[in-house]
Amino acid sequence: MKTLEQELAQRRAAHLYRERLVLDSPQGTEVRVGEESLLSFCSNDYLGLANHPEVVAALRAGAERYGVGAGASHLVSGHSRAHHALEEELADFVGAERALLFSTGYMANLGVVSALTGRHDVIFEDRANHASLIDAARLTRAKVNRYPHADAERLAEMLARNQRPGLITTDAVFSMDGDMAPLADLFRLASRHGARLLADDAHGFGVLGKNGRGSFEHLEIPLAPPAILMATLGKALGVFGAFVAGEAALIETLIQRARTYIYTTALPPAVAEATRASLRIVRAEGWRREHLRALVAKFRAGAQHLGFVLADSATPIQPLILGDAKKALDTSRRLRELGILIPAIRPPTVPEGSARLRITFSAAHTATQVDRLLEALAAVVSG
């Protein structure tokens, strides 16, 4: 049996060792790491709200009113007026009967899947699903059928052979490739076969759709049974936490049965107040989404002009797949020498042979900064 030290050394030798950056600045398009000032293209702060003065002020005011901790779980004494108001505002925003707050998206997915399925049920999951959905299925001990990525036809065949209603789980926007699930097809299949559809819209919520309501709005799909929406609050909204939205009976079921909701301390109420401020900005400032789309289009046009092959993504996630883990690491290091921060993404986060630079954009970026990124990529990747 290998020692922990031997396993770590093996990871280093395979160029798969992970290291943390220590930031000395708030999230933003420009960050400080020690003495370095870097132009960042790796954050999920898609709308540039993580350091917005109104959001910061709301957090401060929330702490002054409610303190800095919830003190207990939602079902004991930790559910504050701030939490309740945020849930109502999120439900109204996405067009659902009710919404329920969770501490993280990971815990939300584990909570929903474990509350709705057990060892005698069947889960159908996209092979490219986020780790939280994969782990959720494992923990239930249900039978798991994995269908090829975004392949609704193959899923239809699996559902036709299934004797019991199942649960379909999928990312709405896939976090490493930036492509979208065929949600309309999945919704129809779930309806036809009496299944439920859980869509993790962590990377679509706030970004996609005319009003920023996410992938369901973008694809003009009603947020109604059999659909269940999970979305996070730490990406486009720039704060922290997650929520699940759906019909009232679903939310009541989760309150009664979702262990990751019942047995954990509630989010600090001040965080809920900050999120409410962020949601108000998302509602009022559609220019952020328009500017973000323009930046993505500018980058894609420039990258294609330089001869780069990009994934089929119209979202702020624009992966540049380099294949080899060492090549991805070396490219990331050379970009950092030019003042550009884009860490390498390597297995097991992505499949073997698909190590990449996961380039992401924010509404806080400028067109000039995108030009600087393209110039750096041209010098490093093509050089």
Catalytic residue among 130, 193, 203, 291: 203
- In the annotation, is 143 catalytic? no
203 part of the active site: yes
- Does the annotation count 191 as an active-site position? no
Q: Which residue in 80, 103, 175, 354 is the catalytic one?
A: 175
Q: Which of 170, 164, 311, 288 is nearest to 227 (CA)?
A: 170
Active-site residue (options: 74, 130, 235, 291): 235
Catalytic residues: 175, 203, 235
